[in-house]
Amino acid sequence: MKTQKIKSKAEMVVIACAVIVAVALVNYVAGKFFYRLDLTENRQYTVSGATKRILKGLDDIVAIKVFFSKELPPEMHAKVNAVRDLLSEYKNIAGGKLRVTWEDPAENDEIRGMAMSLGVPEIRLQTFKRDKAEMMLGFMGIGIMYADKKEAIPVVQNLKTLEYDLTHAIMKVKRSTVPKIGVLKSQAADFIPPEIGARMNMDNERTERRFAPIFESFKHDYEVVTVDVSEGKPIDKDIRTLIIPGGDRYTDRTLFEIDQYFMNGGNLIALVNAVSVSFQYGVQGTIHETKLMDLLEHYGVRVERNMIMDVSCGQVQVPRNLGLFTIQEFLPYPYFVRITRSGFADDNPVASSQSELMLGWASSLTLTPDTSGKLSNTTTVTLASSSEQSWEVKGEFDLLPNANYELPSRDAMRRHAMAVHVNGAFASYFDGKPVPSAKEKATEEETDAISKINLAEDDRNRAVTPSNKNGNLVVIGDANFISAQNASGPNVTFLFNLVDWLSLDENLISVRSRVLEDKTVDPNILEAGSSKPGIIRAINLLLMPIAVIIVGVIISLRRREKTGAVAEGVQTNEK
């Protein structure tokens, strides 16, 4: 019996050592070869195929420095783990072309300076200690470097867009050429050539001045060019995305060049509303039909002939007389629709990261009924919408600021689509039609001057491309939200993110936002007094531990039975 006990102890030591070695080996292998089995709904922790293609296509080393403070609030630990897991997966996919290091800027001033130089700032974080809210300073950003190029995610805030943000930054530092985007020249008598426009004192640079935020903000990342189609020339195919910033006049030839650019693989962002606002005799709004709206309607998006008013709105400054003095008073102005966090699409990486957008005198957007069957291969996503307390106005538009607006009934209020994205296969607006002439009829006043200039080119070799396979169209129901006087920070950011999303690479647009769904019990069920929440809590708090205890008792009883049987056998043999 004594010898048997010694053997049992030796066996236990051997087994314990074997388990320790096995665990150490598994940890070592897991550290070298990252693998994760995603059993979640919608595979929300699986890296997209587009990201995998980009990482596998790296031809040189990209360095990623994660600047996270070690001392962070406890509620941030889950975010740290999510970043660590995602970067481990990136590193595994890249196959040695991605180097990831974690740095704590609080350790020394050199690391702090490096973080600052890369664009990762020190931020204030709120934490709770001893039932008391306290503020602390920390870093939660990521720097991406390749050769002499660098990008940064200043603060990791939204885990939904983390994959998109990382992949986007890697693509930007890795690109060898600067992408080109175009801004269509303002379409007011654009059929007049520059030399004739100069004689008529027309402003040929008004597009650059009116939309200066586009040219100024985008020039660091893109080559921004003004696109002039007045002479009937095709739009440069090297332009990744064409921005159409409203306009008063569109000829058939202008539509043709836009359509054919789109059919040949270009991306379109159309800024348009159906109501023209004039300040000549006060503030007046009139319905303004343009051929551009017909083109967009053919593509599946109708710009409604209305204006949207919203309780969630901006303010305007109006003078108010107080005796001998005049003061400036701020009044809510429902025609300035303020779109907040709840108005953006959560499943789109561009919109889900947006917190605010201001649209003024904007029109709503609806889908065109697909009577021809040509839109069956397209999908539409509403990127931004007004609040649930918004309503449309048609006919007469009273645009003067008012201290007391009369709200409509609740039934008349609902969300309205203000920005949409359509993706898929589109049919050309000019399929089966002849190529429009580059020369349009001018007014009698201009005829003499224009007749001296040969506007039309030989179009005999122009052919109509009937369709595209994977077109991307974004329509926003405000033609002026990015003009110089309206270009607030959030507005510029929204357009810039759209351009990035469409222009950098066709891979980027397919990187979806991670859908992190809240799986807590529906609060409405709790309010209704349903027994379902109580049952769920009982299962989680009582039944699961009880089940574990029962299994443990059963295993213990079986072991005792076996031990008793062995003891009886030994006694029998001794006798």
Q: Among 24-38, 252-266, 366-380, 531-545, where is mean pLDDT lowest?
A: 24-38
Per-residue pLDDT for 127 more than 90?
A: no
Q: What is the DSSP letter of 349?
A: T
d(Cα 115, Cα 143) in Å, to the nearest integer? 7
Tell me the per-residue pLDDT of 1-16, one tens digit each, with 9 for 90 and over. 555 555 566 766 777 7
User: Which of these, 244, 352, 336, 334, lies nearest to 296 by C-alpha position?
Assistant: 244
Query: How far is Cα 544 from Cα 448, in angstroms, rounded to an integer?
Result: 90
Average pLDDT over every residue of 226-250: 89
Q: Looking at 111-120, 273-282, 502-511, 551-560, which range is the least confident one?
A: 502-511
Q: How far is CA 447 from the centre of its chain?
A: 48
What is the Cα–Cα distance from 96 to 419, expressed in whole angstroms? 41
> Residue 453 has what pLDDT?
40
Backbone angles phi, psi at 179, to 5 degrees: -60, 155
Contact predicate 508/48, CB 8 Å: no
Boundaries of every domain in the chain: 1-33, 42-174, 180-503, 521-575
Residue 157 has pLDDT above 70, yes or no: yes
- Total Cβ atoms within 10 A of residue 383: 25
Predicted pLDDT at 374: 66
Q: What is the DSSP string of 1-35?
A: -HHHHHHHHHHHHHHHHHHHHHHHHHHHHHHHS--
Q: Lowest-pLDDT range, 75-89, 261-275, 406-420, 501-515?
A: 501-515
Q: What mean pLDDT do residues 156-160 have?
A: 84
Q: Is the pLDDT of residue 408 over 60?
A: yes
Asked if residues 257 and 235 have their Cβ atoms less than 8 Å apart, the reply is: yes
pLDDT the model gives residue 31: 53
User: For the chain, how far is it from start to end, CA to CA, in angstroms?
Assistant: 15
Q: Report the pLDDT value the prediction gives residue 197, as an integer from 0 to 100.
A: 41
Least confident range from 221-230, 364-373, 375-384: namely 364-373
Of 176 and 512, more confident: 176
List beta partners, residue 146: 149
pLDDT of res. 209: 81
Cα–chain-centroid distance for residue 86? 19
pLDDT in tens, 421-450: 999 999 999 999 999 987 755 444 443 443
**Residue written as token pair 């060049």:** 257
Residue 384 has a CB neighbour count (10 Å cut-off) of 23
Determine which of 36-40, 321-325, 427-431 has the lowest per-residue pLDDT on average.
Answer: 36-40
Distance, CA of 123 to CA of 135 (rounded, Å): 10
pLDDT of res. 199: 37
State mean pLDDT over 543-562: 78
42-174 has which fold?
Glutaredoxin (3.40.30)
Which region holds residue 379: left if phi is over 0, alpha if psi is between -120 and 50, else beta? beta
Which has more confidence, 146 or 216? 146
- Picking from 113-122, 214-223, 253-262, 409-418, which range would have the lowest pLDDT averaged per residue? 214-223
In this prediction, residue 348 has a pLDDT band, given cuts at 50, 70 and 90, of: confident
Residue 286 near residue 278, CB atoms below 8 Å: yes
Which pLDDT score, from 0 to 100, does residue 256 have? 95
Q: Confidence band (pLDDT; 50, 70, 90) for 219? A: confident
Q: CA quadruple 235, 240, 246, 252: dihedral positive or negative?
A: positive
pLDDT (0 to 100) of residue 444: 44
Tokens (6 digits) for 102 = 């974690």
* pLDDT recorded at residue 198: 41
Question: Hey, is 95 helix, strand or coil?
Answer: coil
pLDDT-derived band at 308 (thresholds 50, 70, 90) equals: very high
State how far the alpha carbon of 333 is from the alpha carbons of 211, 243, 316, 565, in Å.
24, 28, 6, 88
Give the full edge-to-edge strand order of the sheet including 325-340: 313-322, 325-340, 356-360
Confidence (pLDDT) at 525: 43
Q: Confidence band (pLDDT; 50, 70, 90) for 498? A: very high
Residues contacting 368, CB < 8 A, separation 6+: 297, 298, 299, 300, 301, 302, 375
Closest CA to 304 of 288, 318, 319, 315: 288
Helix (H, G, I), strand (E, B) or coil at 471: strand
pLDDT score recorded for residue 41: 52
Is the distance from CB of 399 to CB of 361 less than 8 angstroms? yes
Give the count of alpha carbons within 13 A of 434, CB side only.
5
Return d(Cα 152, Cα 219) in angstroms, integer. 18
Question: Which residues, 6 or more positions from 504, have their beta carbon under 8 angstroms from its beta carbon?
Answer: 168, 171, 172, 175, 179, 240
pLDDT at residue 539 is higher than 90:
no
